[in-house]
Structure 1
Amino acid sequence: MKSFIPILFAAIMLAACGGAKQSNESQDTEPIPSEETTETENVEKPQEIEEAAKENTEEAVEETQPVYKLNEANWVIERLDGSKEKNVLITIDDAPDKHSLEMAEILNRLGVKAIFFVNGHFLDTPEEEERLKKIHDMGFAIGNHTYSHPNLTQISEEEQKQEIVSLNKRVKEITGVSPAFFRAPFGMNTDYSKEIAAQEGMMLMNWTYGYDWEKKYQNPDSLSEIMVGSPYLTNGANLLMHDREWTKDALEDIVKGLQSKGYSIADPDLIEAPKRAN
């Protein structure tokens, strides 16, 4: 009996060890995903990448398709799809003087776009440069309004070129992008200024109406009333405003007043570039 007990104990121990080994082997054979395996599973196939890139490209093209064209006979914008949806274009001259940045912030808060036409003599200081950069970074279109705001019909062709081209270079230095639009001071173009604007890839632009330089409209209430109630307010109207304190103070009422009349504010980036002869 005494010799049987050690034998029984040895048998039990051997059985236990064998079970433990079998259990460990079972655990060891269970697959553990490595980083390499995980990465391989998550890598997109070339075809999937190509299809995704194609979809993204198509979406980007869709987003940048022009919606409007500019009628150079009367400077209104017209919808390319021929629909009767009412739109107006907001433009602001003499930027970035004292009030342009705040005007851009107001428009941005209201969710509407505009063109800010820039003069070079408002880009003389780092503070003025920063204003322009902020306006551009908010997504507003930048236009060329000449370097020093001369009457182009009264200066030489060489001076006209300098006024236009030097400002384009200055704007590009600050924003990284050249202006897409050109508006001559006082709306007075010459054949040569039109030629230079075309060479620089800019769209010519004048306006339908504006009032903020007239003394009787140099207060927010009168200005907002006439801008919304003007007899010249029609579908596609091209509205001219300036960097002025009273215009800044009237701006929100002008936008909301136009919208209450059923007008949408057009995005200038969606205006079709004109086809120019080579």
Structure 2
Amino acid sequence: MKKVVKATSALLLTAILLASCSNGDNSGKTVNNNAQPTAAATETASSSATALAAQGNDAAEASAPPQATPAGSSNTGGTAGGSTATDGQATTSGDAGTAQPSGETNPAEIPLLYHMNKNYDIVPNEEGTNKKVILLTFDDGPKEAEMINPLMDTLDKHKAKAIFFVNGYRVKEHPELLELIHSRGGIIGNHSWDHIKLKDESYTEVKKQIEDVQKIVKEVVGETPNFFRPPHGAGGDVGKKVAAENGLLYMTWSVGSLDWEMKEKDANKTEKLITNVTDQLHSGSNILMHELPWTVEALDTLLTKLEAKGYSFVDPRSIELKMR
């Protein structure tokens, strides 16, 4: 019996030893058939997939036909029409609220380079300033838009300014014509209310004739005239006195075109007008013309001839308002 027990014990001991050896071979090793890929492995795989996708997109873009650009648009990021787009809003360059009319200069920026002498000629204030200048003036308006517009077109063509001496009764009848002259850059002058010979009138009447024009021009265009020309060139001492009291530069003219003496039926009116002016021409000429059809017709040729002789056209706003 003891032998049986010993044998059994030996067998059990052997079995235990064999089991221990088997466990020892697998120590430190863990087998997990459900284990997930590591983060590094996942990132590597993801990077590889992304790289392949990017290569595929590059290849697709390289082989795709170019996209059409809409007319008027730019693919360079620049601006069109002087504006830039920011957050979907167009911003136009410049200050729309303070824009000046095309070709206009702020009067405050125009230096006073000239004055008028006792012969009513325009004279430079200093040596070195161009003296070969001409002052252009038109009397007895405003009459008709059909004459004003072509006159202004010609002045614009030659980059010239002119004084338009207006009568009050005409302004009252057609204030829109005064607005037209002003809006197109014409300089408004005072030519009395009724176009009468002021030298024969009382101080009270002359004062009314001049100051009523100042008032109506102010009402229509927001500015009062700085220049006064008496009708018929006959203001007398009383006209000069009232003009001075209103801060107006009194003038007649030094070159007459004689367009007012011409009649509709007369032949060669434009040629005669041009000859009348060029025969009297001199530096500082203060040229008198009128709103008349033949003057409108002659003006472009006249100004072209004057320029060919080396003359330029003075801006009336550069003339001092005191004779000397």
Is the counterpart of residue 4 in structure 1 residue 32 in structure 2? yes
Q: Deviations over 1:49-102 (max 9, x none)?
A: xxxxxxxxxx9798321121111x100001122235411111100111132343
Structure 1 position 219, deviation (Å)? 1.3
Q: 2:271 aligns with which of 213, 221, 233?
A: 221
Distance 1:235 1:217 in 2: 30
Distance 1:159 1:60 in 2: 35
Structure 1 position 251, deviation (Å)? 0.8
Structure 1 position 191, deviation (Å)? 2.6
Identity %: 34
Query: Contact conserved, 2:111 with 2:318, CA < 8 A, in 1?
Result: yes
Distance 1:196 1:183 in 2: 12
Moved more, 264-273 or 97-106: 97-106
Which residue of structure 1 aligns with residue 114 of structure 2? 68
Is the counterpart of residue 172 in structure 1 residue 218 in structure 2? yes
Which residue of structure 2 aligns with residue 136 of structure 1? 182
Which residue of structure 1 aligns with residue 126 of structure 2? 81
Distance 1:104 1:246 in 2: 15
Letter in 1 for 2:164: F
Structure 1 position 263, deviation (Å)? 0.6
Within 5 Å, which residues of 2 pair with 1:240-255?
240-255=288-303
Letter in 2 for 1:213: W
Distance 2:210 2:191 in 1: 8
Is the counterpart of residue 263 in structure 1 residue 311 in structure 2? yes
Aligned length: 232
Moved more, 205-214 or 143-152: 205-214
Distance 1:60 1:206 in 2: 27
Which residue of structure 1 aligns with residue 137 of structure 2? 91
Query: Contact conserved, 2:121 with 2:285, CA < 8 A, in 1?
Result: yes
Distance 2:214 2:244 in 1: 13
Gaps of 5+ in 1: 21-37, 39-58
RMSD, aligned α-carbons: 3.0
Q: Deviations over 1:92-115 (max 9, x none)?
A: 001111323431232123211110
Query: Contact conserved, 1:141 with 1:180, CA < 8 A, in 2?
Result: no
Q: Report SS of the residue matched to 2:322.
A: coil
From the superposition, tell whether residues 124 and 102 of structure 1 become closer, same or farther in structure 2 (CA, over 3 Å). farther
Q: 1:111 aligns with which of 159, 166, 181?
A: 159
Distance 1:81 1:131 in 2: 37
- The list of structure 1 runs, each at least 4 consecutive aligned residues, that deviate by more than 4 angstroms after superposition, is 13-16, 59-62
- TM-score normalised by length of structure 1: 0.74
Structure with max Cα Rg = 2
Q: Deviations over 1:92-141 (max 9, x none)?
A: 0011113234312321232111100001121233xx22221121122221
**Structure with more relative contact order (C-alpha pairs < 8 Å, separation 6 or more):** 1
- TM-score normalised by length of structure 2: 0.64
Query: Contact conserved, 2:123 with 2:131, CA < 8 A, in 1?
Result: no
Query: Contact conserved, 2:136 with 2:287, CA < 8 A, in 1?
Result: yes
From the superposition, tell whether residues 5 and 261 of structure 1 become closer, same or farther in structure 2 (CA, over 3 Å). farther
Gaps of 5+ in 2: 1-28, 48-85, 87-104
Is the counterpart of residue 273 in structure 1 residue 301 in structure 2? no
Q: 2:246 aligns with which of 188, 200, 208?
A: 200
Distance 1:118 1:8 in 2: 100
Letter in 2 for 1:208: S
Distance 2:41 2:249 in 1: 93
Query: Contact conserved, 1:101 with 1:131, CA < 8 A, in 2?
Result: no
Structure 1 position 212, deviation (Å)? 1.0
Q: 1:212 aligns with which of 235, 255, 259?
A: 259
Q: Report SS of the residue matched to 2:138.
A: strand
Query: Contact conserved, 1:182 with 1:203, CA < 8 A, in 2?
Result: yes
Query: Contact conserved, 1:218 with 1:246, CA < 8 A, in 2?
Result: no
Distance 2:268 2:201 in 1: 31
From the superposition, tell whether residues 202 and 62 of structure 1 become closer, same or farther in structure 2 (CA, over 3 Å). closer
Distance 2:30 2:176 in 1: 100
Q: Report SS of the residue matched to 2:196.
A: coil
